[in-house]
Amino acid sequence: MSGAAKGAQRALSAGKRWTSLRVRLIIVFGLVALTAAVSASGIAYWLNREAVLKRTQDAALGDFKQEMQNRAAALPLRPTEEELRRTAELMAVGGGGYSVVLLGERDAGKPIVGVSDADRFTLSDVPPSLRAAVDEEQELTSGNRHSYHVFWLRTTLRGKPYLVGGTRIIGGGPTGYMLKSLEPERQDLNSLGWSLGVATLLALLGSALLAQVAATTVLKPVHRLGEAARRLGEGKLDTRLRVSGTDELAELARTFNDAAESLQKKVADMSAREESSRRFVADMSHELRTPMTALTAVTEVLEEEQDGLDPMVAPAVSLVISETRRLNTLVENLMEVTRFDAGTARLVLDDVDVADQVTACIDARAWLDAVELDAERGTMARLDPRRLDVILANLIGNALKHGGSPVRVSVRTTGDDLIVRVRDHGPGIPEDVLPHVFDRFYKASASRPRSEGSGLGLSIAMENALIHGGDITAANSPDGDGAVFTLRLPRDGSAVAAGEDAGEDGPARSGTGDGGRGRSGRGNGGPGNGGRGNGGPGDEGQRSDERDAGA
């Protein structure tokens, strides 16, 4: 196998694995679990985040507001910078864990600032929007009884999260701002996020394991059904499934069993009818042999005396002679076919010079002037010479009868195979007829004229090729000039003959009128269908518009 073929096979196998029901179940379970876990984790993270931040925020702002009321409100209306600084430090160490900036006025229009920790928090760190909101005096209404409120926002300073809040003393006094770090809360939330991520991953793995278990449980009956279907396809028609339960799979198993039982009955009935038909044909053929022998003897006498007959009687005598020979050929062919169908045909092998065998076949039928032979002497093969003669006679006779001259026969060897090609220069074979060329009694047209052949010649040729472990193919010439029949046989048929002697089945039939049944390739003879030594072609069937494909 080439690298490209192996790659294509691997790709096909991978594609089948990815589209298997088990994989799809696991993927669906995983996606459902992942969606549920991610959704639950996201909601849990968001709720915990809001709860943690709100708790920290409320505690810090509440403490800051209380400190503003207790300490900043106690400052004089025009405090000094030192007083602001000292008050800011006292507010910062009150336990809230935040830094404080107090903004007041010593003189009108001259603000002063006091900070608890100049390295951590200064007035410039306060967002302008927050300062504007804090400084804006609110309109007093029934729902708003204070002109100033505590405002806050969350921001990021120097890459870290902070809570910034601010308010001012009602009735005059300093404005205060606080800055609290939210880094501990961020670390807690990060830890929570990692924990939720691990939980999501574990949920995904757990769902995959559950999917595997579920798939195994669900698919086990499906696998049993598939195995039973394969056995049924192999011809084991007594295959049945064990049915348990009342679910859908049990109903499927019952349906399969009913179908298998019905199929077994129909096949048994068809086999019985086929055996009866085969036995009838065989018995009829044997019963006809004795009267046909007598008729053949009479026609031979009539043929010898034909020249002395009355001219008015001579055409009738010629017709009787022709039809008697045709009927005799049909009987012999039917007997040959019944031997193939019954599996009683056998090979009688001998070492054969194929070129001499082809020459003898052509010469015995007086076809030397109409056939061109391209074969080297010394091309040896171990075959059944009588069956090879039957094959050649049918192929060459068919080409002569329904093709166009000259008919060319070429013999070649390819490895362990013998290749014989028979080509004519006729109109070729219609494309819709090609698949049926080797069928028994096949007619390309129901209205075609009655032919001299029995309609079994090419079918018998194919049977004789199959019994050797070979085959015959039919095709039109690539240049559109005539048809080409290609016979392929192993050069040494000993292995096939040994298999027959051991009782093994021969090669499967390729469909020769009986539906393509398999058969044991064995054969003993019966006369061939290769014509007679009077120069007339054998029973090879029709071609072109009149071809009896399989004749």
Decide if 398 is inside a domain.
yes
Give me the residues paired with residue 352 across strands.
Answer: 381
- Residue 439 in contact with residue 337, Cβ under 8 Å? no
Buried (b) or exposed (e) across 263-275, using 16+ Cβ within 10 A? ebeeeeeeeeeee
Q: Which domain holds residue 422?
A: 343-546
- Residue 440 in contact with residue 456, Cβ under 8 Å? yes
Question: Quick one: pLDDT at residue 298?
Answer: 80
Decide if 259 is inside a domain.
no
Rg (CA), the chain: 51
* 33, 43, 59, 195, 213 from 47: Cα distances, Å: 21, 6, 18, 15, 34
pLDDT digits (tens, 9 = 90+) for 186-195: 888 889 889 9
pLDDT digits (tens, 9 = 90+) for 76-86: 888 888 888 89
- Residue 505 in contact with residue 526, Cβ under 8 Å? no
Residues with Cβ within 8 Å of 214's Cβ and at least 6 positions away in sequence, in order, are 25, 29
Decide if 319 is inside a domain.
no
* SS3 of residue 434 by DSSP: helix
Count: domains in the chain: 1
Decide if 146 is inside a domain.
no
Three state DSSP letters for 142-193: CCCCCCCCCEEEEEEECCEEEEEEEEECCCCCCEEEEEEECHHHHHHHHHHH
Phi and psi at residue 78, to the nearest 5°: -120, 75
Strand blocks (E) in 203-271? none
* 278, 367, 368, 373, 545 from 406: Cα distances, Å: 39, 11, 11, 10, 20
Decide if 424 is inside a domain.
yes
Decide if 491 is inside a domain.
yes
Longest distance between any two alpha carbons in the chain, whole Å = 162
Burial class (CB in 10 A: 0-12, 13-18, 19+), 50: exposed
pLDDT digits (tens, 9 = 90+) for 214-258: 878 877 888 888 888 898 888 888 888 888 878 787 888 889 899
Decide if 130 is inside a domain.
no
Decide if 239 is inside a domain.
no
Looking up residue 509, the CATH number of its domain turns out to be 3.30.565.10
- Residue 436 in contact with residue 514, Cβ under 8 Å? no
Per-residue pLDDT tens digits of the chain, which is 551 residues long: 555 555 555 554 554 455 577 787 778 878 888 888 888 888 988 888 888 888 888 888 888 888 888 888 888 888 888 888 898 888 888 767 889 998 888 777 688 888 988 888 888 889 999 988 888 877 766 666 666 778 899 988 888 899 999 988 876 778 899 999 888 888 888 898 899 889 888 888 888 888 888 878 877 888 888 888 898 888 888 888 888 878 787 888 889 899 999 998 998 888 888 778 777 777 777 777 778 788 888 888 877 877 777 778 888 888 888 788 777 777 777 777 777 777 777 888 899 999 999 999 999 988 988 899 998 888 899 999 998 999 999 999 888 888 777 899 999 999 889 999 999 988 888 888 888 888 877 765 544 455 555 577 888 889 889 988 999 999 998 887 889 999 999 988 887 766 665 554 444 343 333 333 333 333 333 333 333 333 333 443 333 333 333 32
Question: Quick one: pLDDT at residue 9?
Answer: 52
